[in-house]
Every structure is written in C-alpha cells, then in structure tokens.
Structure 1
C-alpha cells in the first residue's frame, strides 16, 4: 500500500484537494480532524494539554483559540504542545492504516498540514504539495472570519515556504486554475502512483 503525504500552506486548497482524492476512492487521513477529536470532550489530549497549559481547557475540551494564542509566537511552547499531540495522532493513524488494509486499498493519503515541519515527508512514499499564487492565497485566507493580515503572517512564518515545498514535492496540484484542472491533476497522480506500484 503506497502512502501519499498531502500538504500545502494555509489557503492553498489542501482540504478541497483531499476531498478529490476521497471522491476518487482513496482513503484519506485528516490530521487536523484527528487533533480536533483529541481536543474535544473525552479526547486523549485534553488532560495532558490542560496540565501543560493551565487555563486552556474549558467545559471539558481544549479551547483551540486560547491555545493558539499561547503557542503562536512561542517556539518552545509549540514544541511542548507537539510533543503531547503528535504521539496521540500517530496512535490514531495506526487505526486508519488497519482499516484501509482491510478495505484492500492500494494507496492512502495522509492530509498533514505540517508534513515537512514535522519530518513526516520521511515516512511517506510520495509527497503531493497543493499550491496557488501568493496573492490568491492571501485573498482566500483573509476572507475567513476573524483572520487578519498580522495573524496570517504569523502562521506563514511557522510554515515551510511554498517555493521550498514545491521544490521537494513528487507532485504538485495547482489550485489557482479552477476545480476541474485540480481534479485532473489528482487523477493523474493516482494513475502515476498505481503505475509505479505495478
């Protein structure tokens, strides 16, 4: 079973691209959704994150906005948080792989925003980077509720630059040319991965 790591900076269209792989019948693991579950009531991350960052747990769940404020401009705090969350996500991912094997999947996609930043690219067979022109990226992100140019710049400062991601990718999905063009690229990637496995 081939493992594809799907990544891309904020606002590049990664979630839309992940949905296209899913529609094509490829199982997709969403790391963000897994973290969301871990932070929710009863989630395995609630107690350890609450102990490491007093005050971020409210009503039995991690307040993501409060946590974001604590770690956004503090690399040491972010590292401490990642040390708690990444092993829990890893355990969750094992269950996903088992389910995909039982389905007889010949490939899976791991949707991981910080694939390069966490060295996840070393544990996949192929890296797919979702990309769009910078002005389109900014326009998309700044249209989100509560987003400001300063917050966007702080997020981008923590992410591997798009040009570097593109240089290190096996495949690139350009989302700036419309959905049909992006979907065509996804089908091409699936075909290429199957051909290399054959």
Structure 2
C-alpha cells in the first residue's frame, strides 16, 4: 500500500468457528493483529474511556473499582433496543479509534489484521482492504460451542440470532479459512493468505 499504510485484512467469523485460534496463526507468522474484544475489555476497565462514558449514561453499572460490571450493563440494556443503540454509539467509535491507531502504529508493516467478531454486522468491512472469514461446518460449530462452560442451546441460539449467517459471510468474504478441516489445513491457508498479501519472505513462520 502506498503512503506507508499497511494492507488491512479484516478477520471475522461466527461463534465457535475458531477465529481466535486463527488470529493466533497470523501472529505466529509475524503479522500484527488488533483484537477488538481485547480493546473493549481495556476500554471497559477502570479508567477506560468507555467506562467513563458508560458510567455517565448508564448510572449504576460501574463496579467499586470504576470498571464496567458487564452483568449490570447487560441487565440495563436487556430488551431495550434504544438503550442498546446508545451503548453501541458510545463504544463502537472508541473501538474504531483504537483500531485506526493500531494500523497507524504499524505503518511499516506490509500487512495488519483487524480481528473483529461482528465485522459485517457493524460495517467494519469498509475499513478493510479485504476480509477473511473463519468458518466450519454447522455440526462442528455446534459441538464446539456447546462444550463451553455455561453454554446451552438457548444461549447458543440467542447468540446466532445476533450474527450474520455463516453462509452470507462466506459469500461476501475475499478469503475463507475452514477450521473444520483441522489445524494444519487452516495453518496452510493462513500461510497462503499472508504470502499473497504481504509477500512470501514476510510470511515465513519462525523456528
């Protein structure tokens, strides 16, 4: 990319598809990865910009340390679309600013990855040069998710209802990384993507 800006690859995928593990494969090949979930965690923490804004607009949702009590926040917006929209209006611009700063800080890198769980749902693809979707067959996804502590069918269904269907994500993606075929196949696909976007010499894994 010209002007010192790296190629920006969006990485996304529905719950249980193996997105976090796939992000790790990019990191292992030396590609800077910005984790939107980790950014939100920091923003919600004591002193975080989101915590201050949320505490102002949603009284009673901060814990004793000044961070966001996520349980209290969920209760505050549950079944109230307008309050949820207000929350998203507060948080999403802060996360986008963090991602933009991350890209700018890695201007010398040929490739950076923005790991965004709800990338398509929030219009995040507009900030990316290409998108890779992590996917797996529905039975594999279901088995993975239901094996998680505290997860049940109803919770799984509720989460899926908020996410764009996997088939639509696959259709819109520039790259599809199928983790259902096993770790070596996913690793090989990541290597191919890195080589194509950043150059084969950059994409070599370390020892």
Question: Shared fold (TM-score greater than 0.5)?
Answer: yes
Match of 1:92 in 2: 98
Superposition deviation, residue 91 in structure 1: 2.1
User: 1:68 maps to what in 2?
Assistant: 74
1:174 maps to 2:178: yes
Q: Which moved more, 1:146-155 or 1:126-135?
A: 146-155
- Aligned CA-pair RMSD: 1.5
* Aligned equivalent of 2:44, options 24, 39, 57: 39
In the other structure, the counterpart of 1:140 is 144
Report the equivalent of 2:7: 2
TM-score (norm 2): 0.88
For residues 167 and 76 of structure 2, the distance between their equivalents in structure 1, rounded to whole angstroms, comes to: 29
Alignment coverage as a number of residue pairs: 193
Alignment partner, residue 31 of structure 2? 26
Shift of 1:12: 0.5
Could you say which residue in structure 2 is the equivalent of 1:12? 17
Unaligned 5+ segments in structure 2 are: 1-5, 200-207
- In structure 2, what is the Cα distance between the partners aligned to 1:131 and 1:121? 17
Structure 1 residue 155: deviation in Å?
1.1
Asked whether the 8 Å contact 1:73–1:154 carries over to 2, the reply is no
Q: Deviations over 1:77-131 (max 9, x none)?
A: 3221110001111222232123211xx2101000001100111111211100000
Unaligned runs of 5+ in 1: none
1:83-122 correspondence runs (5 A) = 83-101=89-107, 104-122=108-126
Partner of 2:3: none
